[in-house]
């Protein structure tokens, strides 16, 4: 073994593997728990890091005895609608701020960005009061309307960065070619910004899928809960924890996000770093 290899081992592979182990271990733990029976789970004599007799009981219980699929549907419903709503609003706003450059566009852009910093923990109480007044308490529509508060700032900022990268001359040329501003937007800018729109959409979807505090606060009917809230509130009753189904639920509820993510990793990373750098 050459000295160089040893050095690379110590300086690179070793720290990398320690990090990866730390970051991935909880997922492994989640995964094996999901396929263990209660008997195995609570048998201290067995090595807990292996599945000795894999079982699908947990999954069955989750779908048969809980409203898990209903919660998943609710989460989908809210995430998709909130994403579409936020993306449309952000697309228009980002273009106006970055490119139309009307009077006041600068301050509006900065204010929208700062909206992203406002944490939900400050907002949920007054929002609860507002939701109550609007009579959409305990309705999924409240979430569809509230999620844009954190999605719009993020998407707008991300899309502004994308619009910046489109040469201005492209739009000017189209305007000289005879296109109205509206047409320039639809036929030139939007097609060119598609990767950015995709990034923003993926982000918005995962962010809404992961939301917890608002869903926990505004929704109380069991059938209307989103997956993260439903799992916690319905599978944990007093001191009885159904660890198997809980882990299974956590695993399954992570699947859509993980899927979306795995298909669009590059867009996701680009979106995250793009938004940071802007």
> Within 13-42, which residues bind another protein (CB under 8 A)?
15-16, 19-20, 22-24, 26-27, 29-30, 33, 41-42
Q: How far is the CB of 56 from another protein (least distance, A)?
A: 19
Q: Does 102 bind another protein (CB under 8 A)?
A: yes
Q: How far is the CB of 208 from another protein (least distance, A)?
A: 10
| Count of residues of this chain found to bind another protein when the rule CB under 8 A is applied | 113
Q: Does 257 bind another protein (CB under 8 A)?
A: yes
Q: How far is the CB of 110 from another protein (least distance, A)?
A: 7
Q: Does 243 bind another protein (CB under 8 A)?
A: yes
Could you give the angle at which helices 194-210 and 265-277 cross, rounded to 10 degrees? 90
102 Rama sector, left if φ>0, alpha if ψ -120 to 50, beta otherwise: beta
Q: Does 96 bind another protein (CB under 8 A)?
A: yes
The CA–CA distances, whole Å, from 164 to 65, 180, 185 equal: 51, 20, 14
Q: How far is the CB of 105 from another protein (least distance, A)?
A: 6
Contacts of another protein in 115-144 (CB under 8 A): 115, 117-130, 132
Q: How far is the CB of 69 from another protein (least distance, A)?
A: 16
Interacting span for another protein (CB under 8 A) from 55-63, 66-74, 95-103? 95-103
Rounded CA separation 248/42 (Å): 16
Rounded CA separation 40/214 (Å): 36
Contacts of another protein in 167-206 (CB under 8 A): 167, 169-170, 172-183, 188, 191-192, 206
């Amino acid at each position: 073994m050459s000295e160089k290899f040893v050095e690379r081992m110590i300086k690179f592979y070793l720290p990398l593997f320690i990090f990866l182990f730390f970051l991935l271990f909880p997922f492994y733990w989640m995964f094996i728990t999901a396929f263990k029976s209660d008997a195995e789970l609570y048998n201290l004599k067995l090595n807990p890091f292996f599945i000795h007799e894999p079982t699908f009981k947990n999954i069955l219980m989750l779908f048969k005895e809980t409203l898990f699929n209903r919660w998943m549907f609710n989460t989908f419903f809210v995430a998709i609608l909130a994403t579409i709503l936020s993306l449309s609003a952000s697309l228009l706003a980002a273009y106006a701020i970055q490119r139309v450059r009307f009077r006041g566009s600068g301050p509006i852009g900065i204010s929208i960005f700062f909206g992203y910093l406002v944490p939900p923990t400050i907002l949920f109480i007054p929002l609860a009061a507002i939701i109550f007044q609007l009579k959409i308490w305990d309705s999924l529509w409240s979430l569809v309307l509230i999620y844009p508060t954190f999605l719009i700032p993020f998407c707008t900022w991300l899309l502004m960065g994308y619009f910046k990268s489109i040469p201005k001359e492209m739009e000017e040329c189209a305007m000289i070619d005879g296109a109205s501003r509206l047409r320039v937007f639809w036929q030139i800018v939007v097609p060119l910004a598609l990767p950015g729109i995709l990034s923003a959409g993926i982000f918005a979807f995962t962010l809404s899928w992961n939301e917890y505090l608002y869903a926990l606060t505004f929704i109380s009917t069991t059938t209307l809960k989103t997956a993260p809230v439903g799992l916690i509130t319905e599978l944990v009753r007093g001191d009885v924890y159904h660890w198997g189904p809980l882990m299974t639920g956590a695993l399954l509820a992570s699947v859509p996000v993980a899927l979306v993510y795995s298909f669009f990793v590059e867009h996701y990373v680009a979106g995250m770093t793009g938004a940071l750098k802007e």
